[in-house]
Amino acid sequence: MKKFSILFIVLFASSYFAHAQTESMAARVAATAMATLWKEPVGADTAKPTKWTYDQGVVLLGIERLWIQTANPIYFSYMQKSMDYFVSENGDIKFYKAEDYNIDNILCGRILLTLYNVTGQVKYYKAASLLRGQLKGQPRTKEGGFWHKKVYPYQMWLDGLYMGQPFYTAYAKQFHEPESFDDIANQFIWMETHARDAKTGLLYHGWDESKEQKWANPVTGCSPHFWGRAMGWYEMALVDVLENFPATHPKRADLIAILKRLVDAIKKVQDPATGLWYDILNLPNEKANYLEASASAMFVCATAKAVRLGFLPASYLTVSKKGYDGILKRFIKTDDKGYTNLEGTVSVSGLGGKPYRDGSFAYYMSEKVIVNDPKGVGAFIQAANEMEWHATAKTGKGQLFILDDYYNAEEKKDIKGVAYAYHYKWPEMYNNGFSFLGNVITSNGLRTGTLSESPTRSNLKNAAIYMIVDADNVADNPTPNYMHEKDAQEIYNWVKAGGVLVLFHNDKPNADFTAINKLSDLFGIHFNEDSHNKVVGTDYVGGKIDVPAGHQILKNVQTIYQKEVCSITVKAPAKSVLTKGDLIVFATAKIGKGTVFATGDPWLYNEYTDGRKLPVIYQNAKAANDLVKWLTAQIPVKK
């Protein structure tokens, strides 16, 4: 990849980025990674690693989040091509040997799950299930902790928690393994029990149940030192697991408590001058010790993400800010080829093996420190994603954006034969889901929620915004929940008191009209039983809608895409705010203290916001951000 191509990726990312900023450091380092890592010669079209490697997974997790934040299709394409190099149409994985029982081999399963959820291609599910099968047979300690590898018997390493547990959690959540969550939580509990130093709160790199290894303390079984990156793996694992761990599980509180103890200990050994962390965390004054990039990036990433997801108070973000500033100043360098490089990452550190690694301070200092090690690069991209998210304005201030799951209550069976809610839902990454819209909403500081029952004053009282999308007819749902006058009146009263109502409807014959108009008519908005903006195949121009300069809602957008939409008729107090010829595309109404926004299409679902399908001229991803900002601005200010 030439210098021009790297610049193109960065500029393309910035043009898609949903939140205005002058430069994305995550995009710059990702461009370098995509151009150089695992490529011989540098710049080859496809990365070709010689083994199934967790290093690549760390980078791809950073690139995945970049795709979610930017809707830049370059990132998704890179992820998919990287995995397709290994995964056959039958779901086999090149170079992978389950019988090695190497927990490092599990990590890339997280990317496989994303690819399955986005594309629906069964080969990714099959490949991910191979990895789940490995965990079922993974050797364990007597109490149940996973061995790090078959060749490292009776040993648990901090590294292994990141390699295995986030995938295990995501798989268990999606494919109905509630019994697995105890096992997942116990891995962290046991690791802390055996490896935590009571005096410092830091965790030793590894623990040998048998106490037979030369590196193992004969009494505790622990290795001699607190290695920075090992603790970075452990903290990132905790946060990534908590992201998918059931909210009501009794051991969730244990995991959050472990996380807080861990970050409190990490904070104490943060270098006050640079904000960074040493390779051996508690020995800053040892002459050979050095500030290390990958551990610093991991602590920055995990702590910032824990704050974003609400696992830690906002005050902990200071730790990440100091660390991130230190990384940018000390480790990020741009060379004369235009590559943005990460310096200062130790290539590897382990315990035992051949040649034998004794875990001594001298051993850790003997390992090479290199430029653009994938583990450091991947951790940095993930850290930069988190810090760039925190750097944007959060005008939503934690208010609640609720999505209806009652009037639109379609279900289908998953690959396991279990029914689940689908079609315009927050978690869905497939084409018809709202995962990208949900990310835009949370990136603006709002919280997302779902209402699966008819609306009442009680269940709407905490909602600032309530959205109803594509109300069911009998073709969608054999037993649809139709809008009744009582429901409509409840919603009307909520809006009048200050609620913001969003109505994304659909065209005939894809939605109910008679019942939903009982609600919309109260605001002077009527959805007509027709269909406009027909699109045939990839002739997208039929769905093109031009947005006039200075538009009151879509302030940063010139063109959007809506296909097969119903028309809208308005009367006072409603008004048209966007048209295509005689077709009213957007309508709004002010009722009391509240606001209504309506359009005749669910237009912001993933297929038209994630960047993979529409030509770049169509700016639905940017439009989603503009709309959310406008909706947020309509929320009455509480006095």
Q: Give the span between the Cα atoms of 50 and 246, in whole angstroms.
A: 37
Instruction: Name the region of 87 (left: φ>0; alpha: ψ -120 to 50; beta: rest).
Output: beta
Residue in 188, 295, 277, 149 with CA at minimum distance from that of residue 233: 295
- Measure the CA angle with vertex 468, ends 467 and 473; round to 5°: 170
What does the DSSP 8-state code read for residue 513? Answer: -
Residue pair 253/311 in contact (Cβ under 8 Å)? The answer is no
Residue pair 115/124 in contact (Cβ under 8 Å)? The answer is yes
- Tokens (6 digits) for 353: 């093996």
Backbone angles phi, psi at 585, to 5 degrees: -95, -45
Residues labelled catalytic? 159
What are the start-end ranges of the H helices in 355-484?
A: 361-366, 374-391, 435-443, 457-460
Residue pair 239/309 in contact (Cβ under 8 Å)? The answer is yes
What does the DSSP 8-state code read for residue 607? Answer: G
Element at 466 (helix H, strand E): strand 463-469
What does the DSSP 8-state code read for residue 510? Answer: S
What distances in angstroms separate CA 200 from CA 256, 281, 284, one per listed residue?
A: 19, 10, 14
Instruction: Name the maximum alpha-carbon separation found in the chain.
Output: 82
Give the DSSP per-residue string, 205-252. SEEETT--STTS-TTT-B-S--BHHHHHHHHHHHHHHHHHS-TT-TTH
Residue in 180, 191, 168, 192 with CA at minimum distance from that of residue 105: 168
Residue type for position 28:
R
Q: Give the span between the Cα atoms of 84 and 487, in whole angstroms.
A: 49
- Measure the CA angle with vertex 21, ends 448 and 637; round to 5°: 45
Residue pair 512/519 in contact (Cβ under 8 Å)? The answer is no
Residue pair 35/1 in contact (Cβ under 8 Å)? The answer is yes
Element at 73 (helix H, strand E): helix 73-84
Residue type for position 203:
L
Q: Give the span between the Cα atoms of 337 and 403, in whole angstroms.
A: 47
Token pair 């408590």 in the structure block, residue: 257
What distances in angstroms separate CA 541 from CA 136, 544, 612, one per listed residue?
A: 51, 5, 17
Bridging pattern class, strands 345-346 and 369-370: antiparallel
